[in-house]
Amino acid sequence: MNRQLIVEGYLSDLGIKGFDLTSSEGQVEFLNKLQAAHIARHSFNSLAVVIGNELPLDLTSLYEKIVVKRRGGYCFEHNKLIFNVLEQLGFDVKLALARVVYNRDVDSPRTHRVTLVRINGVDYVVDGGFGHLGARLPVRLEHGVEQPQGKESFRIVIKESGEHCYQVLKDGDYFTLYTFDLGVYTESDCLVGHFFSHRHPTAAFVNNLVVSRKPEDSIYSLRNGEFHWIIADGTTVTRLTTALELHEKLTQVFELDVDVAISEFLFNKFVQDNS
């Protein structure tokens, strides 16, 4: 399947049409629409990892999995698809690999893929694959500048080492989700992080059922048997107790095309066995 057909199908699926990329303002507006629509429609999840499926990263396979089959995925899948769409549309894109640190001073491997997009001399971090704490809109690479996005706020600061810290406002303080640099990375570099993330026995995605989706006015998040529904007024936490409840969440809330048998397997492995 050629890239232009993938771009057209992807944008049509997101409901994005009639855009103008001839001005920097139009390009920024397009980026905002794309990231917000992507994370609202396509879930971030570890389903294919914990089931043990192969996770090819060629563009056709990603399009089939995420757009056609509605299976979602994680950063190496979501953000590669977005990268290729933007590149095909003529955007100035650069691949970056980040270390997920969750506000800790730890030596983490580069297991998170993001896209840097330069528009009129300004870089934007486009990330459609981080999960429920990720931004709905691209974040400008302007150090220390707070960037409110509805009820959330993000910023990027720089460390003495030169690493950039991608931060979200959490419980009144800025919390570093991941760090990244502006080095040169290739698709081959991504294969290492991708393999670790979905094959290494200690990797978080191998050992946990993780699913999230961020529509416009709420956040849905599932980790093993605990489901969170986050809205402006607060958070509702539900503990799942049956495979049917899990199946309903996966298919109705996260809009995943999942067989009942798969839901039963996931419940037995990640909910019942951990209760």
* Same domain, residue pair 126 and 8: yes
State which residues form the domain around 148.
Answer: 3-187
* Same domain, residue pair 14 and 146: yes
170 - beta bridge partners? 173
CB of 48 within 8 A of CB of 55? yes
Residue 112 is among the residues annotated as catalytic for this protein: yes
Q: Is 136 exposed, middle or buried (0-12, 13-18, 19+ CB in 10 A)?
A: buried
210-236 pLDDT, tens digit per residue, is 999 999 989 999 999 999 999 988 899
Q: What is the CATH number of the domain that holds 130?
A: 3.30.2140.20
pLDDT value, residue 272: 84
Tokens of 234: 């607060």
* Same domain, residue pair 163 and 223: no
Catalytic residue among 112, 132, 194, 198: 112
245-272 pLDDT, tens digit per residue, is 999 999 999 999 999 999 999 999 999 8
Q: At what angle do helices 75-88 and 24-41 cross, to 10 degrees?
A: 150
176-201 pLDDT, tens digit per residue, is 999 999 999 999 999 999 999 999 99
* Same domain, residue pair 221 and 183: no
* Same domain, residue pair 49 and 173: yes
Tokens of 30: 């397009």
Residue 107 is among the residues annotated as catalytic for this protein: no
* Same domain, residue pair 175 and 229: no
Total number of domains in the chain: 2
* Same domain, residue pair 20 and 147: yes
* Same domain, residue pair 182 and 229: no
Catalytic residue among 75, 132, 164, 247: 75
- 210 within some domain: no
43-70 pLDDT, tens digit per residue, is 999 999 999 999 999 999 999 999 999 9
